[in-house]
């Protein structure tokens, strides 16, 4: 009954807002969103700041102050020419009403075997050191209840997401120990297939998941680690959905019907996701948000290959200065298309239309992408997206689901499934067999 009253109040407020002149709507929407996000902060499904800290500062937190604005840091003398400003810091997390952040502990797919386990542990350690260094602002969270306590304390709940199944080195024991260290989701594959899961951006050879891959999914259910289907092939998505006893997530993906990129989620999978009770957390990467941007990315990659692709194809092999100059000239003649906040809102709206309002969240991928849509280039800009959706008629109740309600529900469901399974199942003894 109370939810019906709240929905009626939201509709009345929307009707009153629409009656205002356009110039008066923006401040009113901003105030409405501020009130909403003060009560229901955002949980973002994916941020790659830990890897940026490793790459730029050797993981040494003495070399950077996350308590200050990182968007205007001076560039290091040895920084790559295409390095962008950081998109995350504590003041901007606060300004963006971020109450929970899944920090990705991504490592390259080229790092495999025991070295992958070691590097993953180093990245987990880095996330925990971040929280220890800024205890007034960040706190580690390992459950939905922990997130609720962080909200009440006014701190950002810091969660850990493993971004690639290769990071467990084909070992369920490693998977269990990563969960014990705090990891609460694992992406089944990354940009290349691994020994038991196909990737969306690599030739499929595993028929989605191997039997060991199915065992990984089921053991993730048992320990209470969310199954993340971003980066995996459509066949792997469907196999994981069929195997999972708990709701799954896409930590940072968009809709393939809007942008035909293999990283995005097809409609048939969105419909299966709705039945599963899972969530797609919308990615801000321009090439996943806009078809024009995806096409430009492909053309740019082709131009890079044309200029300097070994062993024989490159036009300027052994002439890096000429290759660089030619690429710069091509880029001036073919500027990247503009990608806007409204296009991200289109992605959110579309996933809502196909999978339902209970199946959408935010997984921006900031500090893991080389550029962002206009108006969404930092974690402080999240409220602007909510203003756009409010302008399109979203109720406060539905905006609250997008902000954190949906992912909290998924987390709680995963925890409940784990409690039930642990009462009846022993840890899996499944062993990877080549």
Q: How is residue 26 written in tokens? A: 């923006």
Q: What is the pLDDT of residues 151-162, one digit of tens each?
A: 999 999 999 999
Task: For the chain, give the mean pLDDT.
Answer: 93
Mean pLDDT of 364-387: 97
Which residue from 104, 198, 192, 97 is spatially nearest to 151, judged by alpha carbons? Answer: 97
Residues catalogued as catalytic: 46, 48, 163, 190, 231, 252, 365
User: With the C-alpha atoms ordered 174, 178, 184, 187, is the resulting torsion angle positive or negative?
Assistant: negative
pLDDT reported for residue 315: 84
Q: What is the pLDDT of residues 82-102, one digit of tens each?
A: 788 999 999 999 999 999 999
CB 215 within 8 A of CB 428: yes
If one counts every other C-beta atom within 10 angstroms of the C-beta of residue 320, the result is 11
Q: What is the pLDDT of residues 211-224, one digit of tens each?
A: 999 999 999 999 99
DSSP string, 350-397: HHHHHH-GGGEEE---BTSSS---BT-SSGGGHHHHHHHHHHTT--HH
Output the pTM of the full model: 0.92
Of the listed ranges 218-222, 319-323, 354-358, 376-380, the least confidently predicted one is: 319-323
Which residue from 378, 394, 294 is spatially nearest to 341, judged by alpha carbons? Answer: 378
Q: Is the pLDDT of residue 81 over 90?
A: no
Q: What is the pLDDT of residues 249-280, one digit of tens each?
A: 999 999 999 999 999 999 999 999 999 999 99
pLDDT reported for residue 82: 74
| Confidence tier at 72 by pLDDT (50, 70, 90) | confident
pLDDT reported for residue 6: 55
Beta-bridge partners for 250: 280
Q: What is the pLDDT of residues 389-401, one digit of tens each?
A: 999 999 999 999 9
Mean pLDDT of 216-244: 98
Rounded-to-integer distance, Cα 412 and Cα 369, Å: 30
Give the total residue count for the chain. 434
Q: What's the distance, CA 59 to chain centroid?
A: 21
Q: How far is CA 83 from CA 123, 174, 288, 427, in A?
A: 21, 33, 20, 44
Rounded-to-integer distance, Cα 348 and Cα 402, Å: 9
pLDDT reported for residue 262: 98
Q: CA angle 93-148-180, nearest 5°? A: 90
pLDDT reported for residue 19: 47
Which residue from 53, 144, 61 is spatially nearest to 103, judged by alpha carbons? Answer: 53
List, in order, residues 6 or more apart from 323 with CB less than 8 Å away. Answer: 307, 308, 314, 315, 316
Q: What is the pLDDT of residues 6-65, one digit of tens each?
A: 555 454 454 445 544 544 568 999 999 999 999 999 999 999 999 999 999 999 999 999
Q: How far is CA 357 from CA 87, 133, 194, 397, in A?
A: 28, 37, 33, 10
Q: What is the pLDDT of residues 272-283, one digit of tens each?
A: 999 999 999 999
pLDDT greater at residue 240 or residue 2? 240
pLDDT reported for residue 23: 47
Beta-bridge partners for 162: 186
3-state secondary structure of 131: helix
CB 383 within 8 A of CB 20: no
CB 126 within 8 A of CB 49: no
């Amino acid at each position: 009954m109370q939810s019906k009253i709240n929905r009626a109040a939201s509709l009345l407020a929307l009707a009153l807002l629409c009656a205002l002149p356009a110039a008066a709507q923006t401040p009113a929407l901003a105030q409405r969103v501020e009130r909403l996000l003060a009560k229901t902060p955002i949980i973002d499904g994916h941020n790659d700041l830990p890897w940026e800290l490793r790459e730029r500062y050797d993981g040494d937190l003495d070399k950077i102050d996350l308590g200050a604005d990182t968007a205007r840091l001076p560039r290091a003398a040895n920084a790559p020419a295409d390095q962008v400003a950081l998109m995350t810091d504590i003041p901007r997390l606060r300004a963006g009403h971020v109450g929970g952040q899944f920090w990705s502990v991504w490592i390259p797919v080229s790092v495999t075997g025991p070295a992958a386990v070691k590097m993953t542990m180093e990245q987990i350690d880095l996330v925990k050191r971040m929280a220890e260094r800024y205890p007034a602002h960040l706190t580690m969270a390992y459950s939905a209840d922990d997130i609720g306590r962080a909200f009440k304390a006014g701190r950002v709940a810091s969660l850990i997401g493993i971004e690639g199944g290769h990071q467990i080195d084909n070992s369920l024991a490693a998977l269990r120990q990563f969960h014990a260290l705090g990891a609460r989701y694992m992406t089944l594959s990354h940009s290349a297939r691994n020994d038991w899961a196909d990737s969306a951006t690599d030739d499929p050879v595993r028929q989605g998941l191997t039997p060991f891959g199915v065992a990984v999914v089921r053991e993730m259910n048992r320990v209470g680690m969310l199954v993340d289907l971003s980066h995996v092939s459509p066949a792997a998505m469907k196999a994981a959905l069929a195997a999972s006893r708990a709701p799954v997530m896409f930590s940072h993906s968009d809709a393939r019907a809007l942008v035909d990129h293999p990283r995005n989620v097809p409609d048939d999978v969105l419909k299966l996701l709705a039945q599963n009770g899972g969530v797609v957390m919308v990615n801000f990467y321009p090439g996943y948000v806009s078809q024009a941007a995806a096409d430009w990315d492909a053309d740019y990659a082709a131009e890079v290959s044309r200029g300097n692709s070994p062993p024989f194809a490159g036009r300027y092999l052994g002439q890096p200065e000429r290759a660089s100059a030619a690429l710069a000239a091509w880029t001036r003649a073919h500027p990247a298309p503009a990608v806007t906040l409204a296009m991200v809102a289109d992605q959110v709206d579309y996933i809502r239309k196909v999978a339902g309002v209970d199946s959408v969240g935010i997984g921006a991928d900031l500090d893991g992408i080389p550029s962002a849509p206009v108006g969404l280039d930092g974690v402080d800009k999240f409220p602007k997206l909510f203003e756009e959706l409010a302008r399109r008629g979203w109720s406060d109740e539905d905006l609250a689901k997008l902000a954190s309600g949906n992912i909290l529900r998924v987390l709680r469901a995963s925890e409940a499934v784990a409690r039930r399974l642990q009462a009846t199942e022993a840890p899996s003894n499944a062993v990877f067999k080549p």
